[in-house]
């Protein structure tokens, strides 16, 4: 939202010169733009209006200051572990807006969710027993059931979740969804407030959501007619894609919400169903465009006639996505973003794996050791999946706004790396 080229000819975000930030804070460095986080969140909330809730999906990226901003914009939160929940509670995230998802929840997960008063989204049958054991007799806890509508969206197989062959949720096609609702309604400790679905991530073609909604509403008709059950809430999941490269042209959060809402309202009207409250839970489309990664160029290796490798001081430890999903990124020279390209290079990381390549064959201007490279759209599922592989500390993270940079997470130290070791 706030990107521009400043008077020095450098990239600037949130009023902060990215080259200067790299000098002051070191690299690898992740920088989040507060204005973008707020704008994307507010666009979701405004598009939903009344009769719906937006949950931010903490798995995309979570840090206390980031979560406070999301909460201030009026969003709730989707967490998938006792760890994510603990971070949210320590960040004073409003408990009544938290949903606890995830397949194969442990007893500790369910206990933590119950203690926090979160809405639990049941993903598999074993949770019925866990909930019987955790929730005290005479009490009930609000739950939703994760349903797998059997829709395969236009995304990478690795991140599509709504089809029959998926580890997530109760499948409609196999009859498991209907059985799970029956069991949940009979369960003495559960208050079934809704059904939930999530069909995948990095989705551009919104038709998949319309299809999933139709299938969910057909299930609702069956549940109303045969079980007299009408859910108060219906979750359509997250999954809206973002632009990682100049060629990507994703729908906006407003397009996404309007498509899903229209499918819900017209589908309910056609089936004479009461319109449930709609819940969406975006992660990537809020955090992703708000964050950039900064790296310093180190060694440059030329293999004449084959390839030029430009190595940076991060890589698969802070961004596994290129190797995990074949995800594509771009990189920009932060000190001269408009300089003309001088040829193709491959941006390599510094991890001891030959697959540790951030970007293969990208046109870049002439680069030298010490240059700062900026990788845009690095705000989601990079730091969230970061590791200490090769004994590398995880990066420092900033939030910028109006020329001020606030440290959201300090750089890990060598002492952090051995904190859990027993010497």
Ligand X SMILES: Cc1ncc(COP(=O)(O)O)c(C=O)c1O
Interface residue with ligand X among 78, 84, 214, 356 (CB under 6 A) is 78
Give min distance, CB of 409 to ligand X, in A. Answer: 20
Closest CA to 32 of 14, 20, 15, 53: 14
Among residues 233 and 284, whose Cβ is nearest to ligand X? Answer: 284
The Cα 184–Cα 127 span in angstroms is 10
Binding residues for ligand X restricted to 100-129, rule: CB under 6 A: 101
Query: Beta strand pairing status for 396-401 and 29-33?
Result: parallel
Say whether residue 291 binds ligand X (CB under 6 A): no
Interface residue with ligand X among 36, 171, 201, 259 (CB under 6 A) is 201
**Would you call the peptide bond into 183 cis, given omega within 30 degrees of 0 as the criterion?**
no
Q: Which stretch binds ligand X (CB under 6 A): 92-100, 133-141, 207-215, 237-245?
A: 237-245
Give min distance, CB of 327 to ligand X, in A. Answer: 12
Instruction: Give the contacts of 367 (CB within 8 A, at least 6 positions apart).
Output: 297, 300, 310, 333, 345, 373
- Please name the residue ranges forming H helices in 228-368: 253-271, 284-287, 321-325
Residues 226-247 as b or e (16 or more Cβ within 10 Å = b): eeebebebbbbbbbbbbebeee
Give min distance, CB of 161 to ligand X, in A. Answer: 6
Interface residue with ligand X among 150, 162, 237, 379 (CB under 6 A) is 237
Say if CB 414 and CB 390 are below 8 A apart: no
**286: left (phi > 0), else alpha (psi -120 to 50), else beta?**
alpha
**Catalytic position from the list 16, 268, 352, 374:** 352
Q: Which stretch binds ligand X (CB under 6 A): 19-27, 54-62, 224-232, 332-340?
A: 54-62
Query: Beta strand pairing status for 343-348 and 332-333?
Result: unpaired
Q: Give the DSSP letter string of 48-71.
A: H-TTEEEEEEGGG---HHHHHHHH
Interface residue with ligand X among 187, 284, 350, 394 (CB under 6 A) is 284
Active site residue 268: no
Say whether residue 289 binds ligand X (CB under 6 A): no
Interface residue with ligand X among 81, 285, 296, 319 (CB under 6 A) is 285
Biggest CA–CA distance in the chain, Å, is 74
The Cα 289–Cα 285 span in angstroms is 7
# residues contacting ligand X (CB under 6 A): 16
Give min distance, CB of 197 to ligand X, in A. Answer: 9
Say whether residue 238 binds ligand X (CB under 6 A): yes
Say if CB 205 and CB 153 are below 8 A apart: yes
Interface residue with ligand X among 99, 198, 211, 321 (CB under 6 A) is 198
Give min distance, CB of 52 to ligand X, in A. Answer: 15
Among residues 242 and 405, whose Cβ is nearest to ligand X? Answer: 242
Q: Which stretch binds ligand X (CB under 6 A): 66-74, 238-246, 310-318, 394-402?
A: 238-246
Among residues 25 and 284, whose Cβ is nearest to ligand X? Answer: 284
**CA distance between the termini of the chain:** 48
Kindly list the residues in this chain that would bind ligand X in the complex (CB under 6 A).
Answer: 57, 59-60, 78, 101, 198, 201, 237-240, 281-285
Residues with a catalytic annotation lie at: 352
């Amino acid at each position: 939202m706030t990107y521009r080229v400043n008077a020095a000819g450098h990239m600037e975000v949130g009023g902060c010169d990215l080259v200067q930030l790299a000098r002051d804070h070191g690299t690898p460095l992740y920088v989040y733009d507060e204005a973008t986080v707020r704008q994307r969140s507010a666009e979701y909330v405004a598009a939903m209006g009344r009769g719906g809730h937006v949950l931010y999906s903490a798995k995309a990226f979570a840090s206390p200051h980031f979560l406070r901003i999301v909460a201030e914009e009026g969003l709730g939160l989707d967490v998938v572990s006792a760890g994510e929940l603990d971070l949210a509670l320590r960040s004073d995230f409003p408990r009544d807006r938290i949903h606890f998802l995830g397949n194969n929840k442990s007893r500790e997960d369910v206990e933590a969710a119950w203690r926090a008063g979160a809405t639990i989204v049941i993903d598999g049958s074993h949770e019925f027993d866990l909930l019987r054991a955790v929730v005290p007799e005479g009490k009930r806890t609000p739950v939703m059931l994760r349903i797998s509508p059997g829709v395969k969206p236009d995304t990478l197989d690795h991140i599509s979740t709504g089809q029959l062959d998926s580890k997530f949720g109760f499948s409609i096609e196999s009859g498991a969804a209907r059985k799970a609702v029956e069991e949940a309604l009979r369960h003495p400790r559960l208050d079934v407030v809704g059904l939930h679905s999530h069909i995948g991530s990095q989705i551009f073609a919104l038709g998949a959501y319309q299809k999933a909604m139709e299938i969910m509403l057909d299930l609702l008709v069956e549940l109303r007619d045969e079980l007299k059950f009408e859910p108060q809430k219906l979750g359509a999941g997250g999954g809206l894609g973002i632009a990682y490269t100049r060629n990507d042209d994703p729908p906006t959060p407003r397009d996404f919400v309007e498509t899903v809402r229209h499918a819900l309202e017209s589908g309910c009207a056609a089936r004479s169903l009461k319109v449930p409250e709609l819940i969406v839970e975006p992660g990537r489309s809020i955090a992703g465009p708000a964050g950039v990664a900064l790296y310093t160029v180190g060694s440059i290796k030329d293999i004449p006639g084959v390839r030029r490798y430009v190595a940076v001081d991060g890589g698969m430890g802070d961004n596994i996505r290129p190797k995990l999903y074949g995800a594509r990124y771009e990189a920009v020279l932060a000190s001269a973003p408009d300089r003309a390209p001088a040829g193709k290079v491959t941006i390599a990381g510094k991890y001891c794996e030959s697959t540790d390549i951030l970007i293969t064959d990208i046109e870049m201007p002439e680069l030298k050791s010490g240059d700062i490279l900026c990788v845009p759209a690095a705000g989601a599922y990079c730091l969230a999946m970061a590791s200490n592989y090769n004994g590398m500390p995880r990066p420092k993270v900033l939030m910028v706004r109006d020329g001020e940079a606030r440290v959201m997470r300090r750089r890990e130290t060598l002492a952090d790396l051995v904190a859990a070791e027993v010497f």
